Chain A
């Protein structure tokens, strides 16, 4: 009987999945697989395509711009823990039923739904030398000189991280809020009866039960950070100099601006391997805790 069900589901199952898997195959799997042979050629719009072995990889590791871009992408991971911790705190803050709380939640989410183009435009003006941010900082006496936040090499990358943070807080807040609301109230009840302090309750109940959410959010945030592109594409174009050049931006420049498809593929493969290794580390790290949201 059970054997028959097993057999009878195969045809409808594959029929249902076929269109979706076809799209995934062409636009998700194929780019991963195809970039390997592509990376071994000098494919570009100019001239004939030749097999050049590992030349692209040798060139990559001697390419200062690429190495800088790789370092900037890795540096961008700083944003992940800050973003996650602040989002959890905000989620705890808005996890209440006081009047108007819905409006606050919506307000915090609005940067998430806004396009990066619009966000970039606002912050570009706000952060200019004569901008509102400098005005506020000078008025408050925090600094006495006008800083060109995005035109100074030493600050630009961190300012972009700040914009990522500002735009992402609402997104992770919502996810964590969903997590907080799934924690049964009687757990807190029991803890209160046992005399647990507020901090203890957060540490012993909220954080452990939020673990699958923390894992999930950290993973997508990590992926986003290491592949960050939009912020620098619309705000700084990698500048000043190469101070905000990230690997995604550099691959884009090599691939779709200079049309060096072969070289761009090689760069992409290197980055993919790094991202893959990083996520395996995160998965391992999570498994040690024994919570697996994919179960």
Chain B
């Protein structure tokens, strides 16, 4: 535990409380007893009691510094590759295989971006990606909402059997699924269509599981009151229950957005025309085509990851809420 919690209490009484252990909200409970005690009293009191806020802040500085140093080092490790790729993309003519490598940008030019944008039909690939992602999101959300709801809130014969079978499929996954999916999609005549790309993952057991956990947290009274009012099951579900599980929807939406946006293999298997490829598949294609135009590849990669990063940054709050609601169970 890092001693990084925000200084909550006005002063801390008792030396034991000097290490709040990063639990927010711990300090105010013990604070207040010695509020206003000046530093002058320190000498006569037992060690640790009656420290002023200023002294406490000073005392926290080393811990904070260590904490920030760790956080920054880790951030560099996680973000470094992206920043370096950005710097390659901004310096046309960089050879990434030259030693010593250029790490920091010495000049900035957007040529790579304008050239790769005009060479590759980005709007089309983004369009393909959006269709696939949108279709996958809607199906996943609707199907996990409808399938999980009875499993959490209704009483019927076979409920535990259905749930047991679902959990079992998580444990015994099919390692050949890709092969059988290919055969199934061929039988359905869906090869070469976006629907064929989305259908095998239109709902996952994991999402149903996640949504069931979220539904379990909704009080039964809500469904009962709807029944008393004579609302239909469909209406109770859509009007009363679904609004209560928004955090779960947010998690599924974000996770599925990521997985569809980034999927590259299955689309290549199903779609025969590269013009139908989503962005990630097109990117693998791009890499094969101009293996030595590093700047273009870097710029293309940056362009493809930017949207998903932006989406994540704007939705991370809901994501956190949803995860804690869903995993707790």
Q: Write the nearest CB–CB distance from A170 to chain B, whole angstroms.
A: 7
Given known pairs A6-B155, A9-B156, the reply for A185 and B26 (CB within 8 Å) is yes
Residues of B within 8 A of A275 (CB): 171-173, 175
Residue of B81, B202, B301 touching A23 (CB-CB under 8 A): B202
Residues of A within 8 A of B150 (CB): 9, 12-14, 16-17
| A54–B232 alpha-carbon span in the complex (Å) | 54
| A198–B21 alpha-carbon span in the complex (Å) | 7
A178 within 8 Å of B by Cβ? yes
B47 within 8 Å of A by Cβ? no
- By DSSP majority rule, is chain B's interface helix, strand, loop, or mixed? helix
Residues of B within 8 A of A117 (CB): 262, 264, 280, 283-284, 287, 301, 304
Residue of B5, B26, B173, B305 touching A115 (CB-CB under 8 A): B305
Which residues of chain A in 202-219 are interfacial with respect to chain B, using CB atoms and an 8 Å cutoff?
A: 202, 206, 212-213, 216
Residue of B22, B180, B280, B297 touching A31 (CB-CB under 8 A): B180
**Residue of A23, A169, A177 with most partner-chain B CB within 10 A:** A23
A123 within 8 Å of B by Cβ? yes
Given known pairs A96-B24, A122-B82, the reply for A115 and B283 (CB within 8 Å) is yes
Residues of B within 8 A of A23 (CB): 143, 199, 202-203
Which residues of chain A in 5-35 are interfacial with respect to chain B, using CB atoms and an 8 Å cutoff?
A: 5-6, 9-10, 12-14, 16-17, 19-21, 23-24, 26-32, 34-35
Closest A residue, CB atoms, query B67: A98
Contact A251 B175 (CB under 8 A): yes
Residues of A within 8 A of B301 (CB): 117-118, 121-122
Interface size grouping (class) on chain A: 35 or more
Contact B81 A122 (CB under 8 A): yes
State which of A77-85, A103-111, A151-159 sits at the interface with chain B: A103-111
Contact A114 B156 (CB under 8 A): no
| A117–B304 alpha-carbon span in the complex (Å) | 10
Q: Which residues of A contact B (CB under 8 A)?
A: 5-6, 9-10, 12-14, 16-17, 19-21, 23-24, 26-32, 34-35, 38, 90, 92-98, 101-102, 104-119, 121-123, 125-126, 128-132, 134-135, 146, 166, 169-170, 174-175, 177-179, 181-182, 185, 188-189, 192-193, 195, 198, 201-202, 206, 212-213, 216, 223, 227, 230, 233-234, 247-248, 251-252, 255-256, 261, 264-265, 267-269, 271-272, 275-276, 279-280, 283, 293-295
